Amino acid sequence: MKTIELKTGRYTKDGINYSIRREESDTQRAGQYAEENGYGVRTHEEVRFSVALKQKLGAIAKARYEQEMGGFQLPAEQGGMFVRTDPRNRTLLVSAALKATSDPAYEVENWKTSEGTFITLTNAMILLLNAAVHEFIAASFAQEAQLSAAIDAATTTEELAAINWGNES
C-alpha cells in the first residue's frame, strides 16, 4: 500500500520562509484523496514510531555484527584463550578444521594467539575452536533474531526504548 504523510509547520526553500497550517477540512480532503487513490494515511506519531522501529532494528544489527567480529573468551576448562572471530581468522580456522577432520594426526604449529604468543593447536583443539566459533556466531544471530521479534511486536516508543542488546528479556 502506498502511504502519504500530511505535514504541517514551517520550512525554508530557496531562502523564503513558508508556513503550512492545515485546516481540518484540508486534512479531511487530503485523507479522502489519499484513500481514493490507494494511499494509506499515517499520523505523525505513526511515522515517528516507524522511524524509531527501523533505527532500533539497525542498532541491534550493528551490535550483533560488533559482537560477531569481536571474538570471545573460551571458558577456563577449555584453555581460557581469547578467540578472534573476524573473517580472516574464521577462514583460517575452518581450513584447519577441514584438514583436522580428514587427518586425525593433523596439528597446526605456530598458531598465533590474540595475545601474540605462538602455540601448537592439536587436532582436538582445532575442532573444539571451530565448533566454539560456530556456536558463538550462531548465538549472536539467535540473539539478534529474538530482539528483532521483540522490536516487531512493540507497539509504543517506550517498549522500543526498553529493547537493547544485552537485555533479552
Q: What is the pLDDT of residues 46-94, one digit of tens each?
A: 888 999 999 999 999 999 999 999 999 999 998 899 999 999 999 999 9
pTM: 0.73
Minimum mean pLDDT range among 20-29, 55-64, 123-132:
20-29
Amino acid at residue number 100 = A
In the chain, % of residues over pLDDT 70: 82
* Exposure on the CB side of residue 152, measured as CA atoms within 13 A: 6
CB 113 within 8 A of CB 81: yes
Mean pLDDT taken over the chain: 86
DSSP bridge pairs for 111: 119
Q: How far is CA 147 from CA 51, 57, 62, 66, in A?
A: 17, 8, 12, 15
pLDDT of residue 74: 93
Write the pLDDT tens digit of every residue in 136-166.
999 999 999 999 999 999 999 999 999 999 8
Neighbour-count burial of 147, counting CB atoms closer than 10 A to its CB (0-12 exposed, 13-18 middle, 19+ buried): buried
CB 127 within 8 A of CB 100: yes
Q: Where are the beta strands (DSSP E) in 96-139?
A: 108-112, 118-121
pLDDT over 80 at 44, yes or no: no
Amino acid at residue number 2 = K
pLDDT over 60 at 2, yes or no: no
Domain borders along the chain are 1-42, 44-161
- State the angle between helix axes of 123-153 and 44-70 in degrees (0 to 180), rounded to the nearest 10: 170
- State the angle between helix axes of 123-153 and 87-102 in degrees (0 to 180), rounded to the nearest 10: 130
pLDDT of residue 59: 96
pLDDT of residue 3: 54
What is the mean pLDDT of the segment spanning 113-134? 95
